[in-house]
Structure formats: C-alpha cells, structure tokens
Amino acid sequence: MPVNFGDLTARAQMCVQRNVLALAVCSFMAGPVLAVSSSLEPLQTSLYKAHYAIAIEQYARLPDVERSSPEASYIKGYALLQRHQFEQARPYLEAAHRGSYEGFGGNWPSPAVLLQSVNYLQRSRPPFVCDYLDGRAVAVRLYAKPTPWTKHVSAAIPRFIERAESIFGKDLPTISFYFFDNYADFGHFFESLFSQSIVHMWQDGTGNTNVVTFCETSKDGTRHAPGSDWSLACVLHEYGHALCTTYFGDDYLRIVPNWLNEGMADGIALPYMQPSIESAERQLKQRAEKQGPPSYEDLCTGLYRDPESGYAFARLMCLELLKGKDPSVIRTYLAQAKANGFEPALISTFGVRGSDVYRSVARRFWPNF
C-alpha cells in the first residue's frame, strides 16, 4: 500500500533514525550559525525555514557578482538537494567547495559532505531509461532496471502524463521516477534522498517534490505482479503525491491534512482505482461490524497509525469531493489551499467543510453516526 509521510512529528522522529549519509541533508538543522553577507541573509533565512523553492527564486534575482559567490552557490546547491534535484545541485556544491566555503557552521553540512550524498545518489540510482515528453518539455524522466514489472508500468507512463495534464494543465514539472527491484537498494536510496528511514512495513514507494520512488518487491519479499492494475494505481498515486507537493511548494507535507494528502493522490490515480474503491468499502463495512469510525481528527493528523481504515476513509472522502467535477478542480483546490489554508479552501472550492464530508462517508457505514 503506498504511503506518503505528512506529519511533522513522524518526520522529526524519522530524522533521528537517519544514517550517516542522510545526515548531510537533514531538514531539522540547528539555525544558521555563521553570518553571510547582508544580501544573502534572506536566502539563508529561507533555508532555515525549509523554504527551498523561495531560496532558489531569491538566488535567481541576485546580481551576477553575488550569484557566483561560494556562499550563494552553497545556498542554491543545498536548496536543490533538499528538493531532490541532486544532479542539478552538484555544480553549485562543487563551486562552493572550490571556493573553500564550509557552510553555515554548527550542524549545517559542508559542501564536501553534501557532495558525498550526491555521489552516493548518482551511483546507487537505477540506470537511466528514457524521458517522456509533454510537448517539448520532459514530464517524466525514468530510471529503472529492465524487468517485466518495469516494462508494464513504463508503458503506462504516457497515460499517467495525460491524466496529470487533465488536472494540472500543459506545464507539468519534470518528475524523476526511480524504480527498484530490490528492497535493500530501494531502502538505501530512499534514506539518502529523503534523510529518513522507511518506517512503515507497507511502504513500497513515495512521491515527493520532483520525485517518485517505487520498489516492485515489498519489504516482506512479496512482489507486485507484473501487468497488474494495482501496480499502475500505486505508481500513479505516488506520481499524484509528487505533482501535488511540487505544485504546492515546500510546506505541503508539513501542513496538508493526512486524509487530503492520501485521498487526493487516490483521486489523481482514479483511472486505476476501481478495485481499491471496492476494497475500501469492504474494509469500512467490516470495521463497522466491530467498532466505530476513526475520528476526523485521526484522519487529519494520525491516519498512518491505523492505515487500513485511514486510507479507505480518505479515499472515499476525496472521491465524494471530486464526484461529478472536472479533474482540474484538484489544481484549483491546491491553489486556493495555498492562499487560504486547506480547510477554508474546501468551502470555497467544494462548498463543504472537511467534517461534513467525513460525516457523509461515516453515515454510509455507521447509519446511526
């Protein structure tokens, strides 16, 4: 079952479990220790707040002479690495290293340490397969070993891109897909890319800013059957996470309610979701025979503590929101959520509160609720 980490506490806990290489790119650094030149202070503040896209925009507006400084190169390289664009980060980190810049001090890593992460990620990723274009732009860049599973999923990528276009329009960001066949390789890559260990047994993949990762073999050794719609649903769900996170910006996973994060990714994967919708209905029906529904609060902030019911509930809630609407409403909703917050944007986009959708789904299975 796919999962995407959304809550700050979980992220902070996972940070404690980071390995040595992952230490290099942990978001929970001590604040800036060494002063930078005054024109770079806003960029340094953006990094400290984990606003990496903003830091990159601020960098682009610097005068040429400032932009080529080792300090500015460090900031841009660090921000790109946090946005999982490690290949693009390399030249900036190398420039900072050549300029003998050592970072902000304290727990902030030096360019040399960050370059170790970049080297590891480039060395350990699967081989490059091809680019999938959206017009002239690259929408998906695929890295994968040639396996029967990969062959089937990669054949569906043009359909994934069409689905993405129907929601987000023609200007899709480039998302790199990394498909693994071996769970240990996947785990090591994942830890280095995201600075956190995989903590959930069921997690075979994730979608985050600019990336999708997926492993065709689960942690317990079971394999996703090549050619199954379930695999397509899982990968499109992760692509959905990647698109939402990339469109919304760096704060997305820190503030999105769990049920909206998972349910909207399911909404994006809708073309392959029919079996999962039926299994969600079965799951909640069975639960209703034994116990009450999860609380709305649990679905917002604690969905991963009871994933089976949580995912099922989130899926049905978002499908109710999206029913009869053009899929582009997802993009409209994200834009409004960015401006006004996730709950207020539910009212302005869909005309309902989250708790109303929750009650409506709950009453289908718990008539007396």
Which positions lie near Zn ion, rule CB under 5 A?
2, 4, 262, 265
CB of 252 to Zn ion, least distance (A): 13
CB of 261 to Zn ion, least distance (A): 7
CB of 265 to Zn ion, least distance (A): 5
The amino acid that residue 359 corresponds to is R
CB closer to Zn ion, 42 vs 275: 275
CB closer to Zn ion, 5 vs 168: 5
CB closer to Zn ion, 124 vs 301: 301
User: In angstroms, how far is the first alpha carbon of the chain from the final one?
Assistant: 28
CB closer to Zn ion, 92 vs 313: 313
CB of 2 to Zn ion, least distance (A): 4
CB of 57 to Zn ion, least distance (A): 28
Q: How far is residue 95's CA from residue 73's CA, in Å, rounded to a whole number?
A: 6
CB of 100 to Zn ion, least distance (A): 43
CB closer to Zn ion, 74 vs 178: 178
Written in H, E and C, the secondary structure of the chain is CCCCCCCHHHHHHHHHCCCHHHHCCCCCCCCCCCCCCHHHHHHHHHHHCCCHHHHHHHHHCCCHHHHCCHHHHHHHHHHHHHCCCHHHHHHHHHHHHHCCCCCCCCCCCCHHHHHHHHHHHHHHCCCEEEEEEECCEEEEEEEECCCHHHHHHHHHHHHHHHHHHHHHCCCCCCEEEEEECCHHHHHHHHHHHHCCCCCCCCCCEEEECCEEEEECECCCCCECCCCCHHHHHHHHHHHHHHHHHHHHCCCHHHHCCHHHHHHHHHHHCHHHCHHHHHHHHHHHHHHHHHCCCCCHHHHHHCHHHCHHHHHHHHHHHHHHHHCCCCCCHHHHHHHHHHHHCHHHHHHHHHCCCHHHHHHHHHHHHCCCC
Residue 350: alpha-carbon gap to chain centroid: 24
CB closer to Zn ion, 216 vs 238: 238
CB of 198 to Zn ion, least distance (A): 13
CB closer to Zn ion, 51 vs 237: 237
The count of C-alpha atoms lying within 13 angstroms of the C-alpha of 18, restricted to the half-sphere facing its C-beta, is 22
Chain position whose Cβ is nearest to Zn ion: 4
CB of 23 to Zn ion, least distance (A): 26
CB closer to Zn ion, 115 vs 265: 265
Q: How far is residue 360's CA from residue 192's CA, in Å, rounded to a whole number?
A: 41
CB of 19 to Zn ion, least distance (A): 24
Q: Which two tokens stand for residue 95?
A: 């420039």
CB closer to Zn ion, 46 vs 258: 258
